[in-house]
Amino acid sequence: MRILFFKYLKRQRILTLLFIITLSSMLFSMTALSLLGFYKGFTTYLGEGEDIVVIYNKKSSTPFTGLVPAYLAEKISDLNGVLAASPEVIIPCIIKNKATFLRGIIPKEFTKINQLTIIEGATLELNDLNSAIAGKKVAERLSLKLNDTILILSVLTDRYLELKIKGIFISNSPIDDEILVPLYVGQWLVGTDYGYVTLIRFKIDRNIITPSIIYEEIAKEVSEPSQPQNQEPQPPSITPRIIIRFGSKDLGVEEAYRFLKSYTDRYGLTRESLLILSSMVFIFSSASIIIATKTIIAQHKGEIGVLRSIGASKKLLKRDMLIKILPWSIVFSFLGFAMAIAVLIVIQEGDYFQVLSHTIPIHIDPLIVAINLIPVMLLVSISILKSNFE
């Protein structure tokens, strides 16, 4: 008996189920995209490729509060295979009553790792001690314009400073949410001297040098410092040549993304745990999908009874209902996913989608699509197949 083209399912009742599926899919997708976007943005904050290596302080509780000897930048930059060395100081600050991150850099070295395109004004120089350049996103968020004078209040110390916006840049990276200043300005704001920086980033040729080789060189420096202590800084060399005594066990050398991943792992914020947390939203809403599916079957009890009376078997009815409902469930599940992306884009453009003053990227992970789609198919299928068609 063929009932494929027999229209016994009421459109309005089916739309109720599809609305619930869309809403559940949208809520799950928004949660998963937000959490994994934060994870992706945080772990790639300093660079995503294996050729970006970081020297950092293992004892620091956050990536922004560690201190490492600044002179190691010049020391390691002499090694074969090191293409660029960028000592950096990262400072949380308050500007116009809003939390903002500043980064103290040596411009010529920094731009070898992060390409900056100046869209207004001029580029930053190491001796521009009264100037700064702002990323496009932070400039829009703080309404900064070329030649504006801004008052910067350091969160880590009681120091403040007025700087002039010399230029506005775009990098298509998290740096667009930051203001860049000369390294020495950053060191003063963070409350340290010229001998320390927050971290040192290197761009390397993996075919020639590895993080372990860099660490071995640091270990040698502990036992045999290359210059006497307490030498005065000599700007504008790559870094002030102040030799600092340190323990090699305090310092780590890793790929940038592994360095930041270690902080998320430390607090249990792994990619898998975030996906599980996101899935909890879907689990809580799955009951509504099951109830809605069973309600539809109950609402069509009369139509099902008529079909049964003219010879339609339970197996045939269940198969026919799956053919008619399941494709629409898949379509509306994707619709919920698309709506989640659209909502997050609107939130992102309104500068509300931020963590630590940085915009959270919308990272579309195929695993989110799979987790979104497969449970919907299973829930609808099981609800129909387990129903009693009398």
Confidence of residue 164 (pLDDT cuts 50, 70, 90): very high
Cβ neighbourhood burial of 133 (10 Å; 0-12, 13-18, 19+): buried
Mean pLDDT over residues 153-179, rounded?
92
Residue ranges of domains in the chain: 11-43+270-385, 71-243
The pLDDT assigned to 313 comes to: 80
CA separation, residue 243 to residues 80, 189, 231 (Å): 22, 21, 7
Tokens 């400039």 label which residue? 139
Q: Pairing relation of β-strands 131-135 and 160-170?
A: parallel
Confidence check: pLDDT of 269 > 80: no
Confidence of residue 218 (pLDDT cuts 50, 70, 90): confident
Mean pLDDT over residues 173-186, rounded?
92
38-73 pLDDT per residue, tens: 777 776 777 767 789 989 888 887 777 888 888 888
Mean pLDDT over residues 148-154, rounded?
94
Distance CA 327, CA 380 (A): 11
Distance CA 297, CA 144 (A): 59
Question: Do 20 and 289 meet the contact criterion of CB atoms below 8 Å apart?
Answer: yes
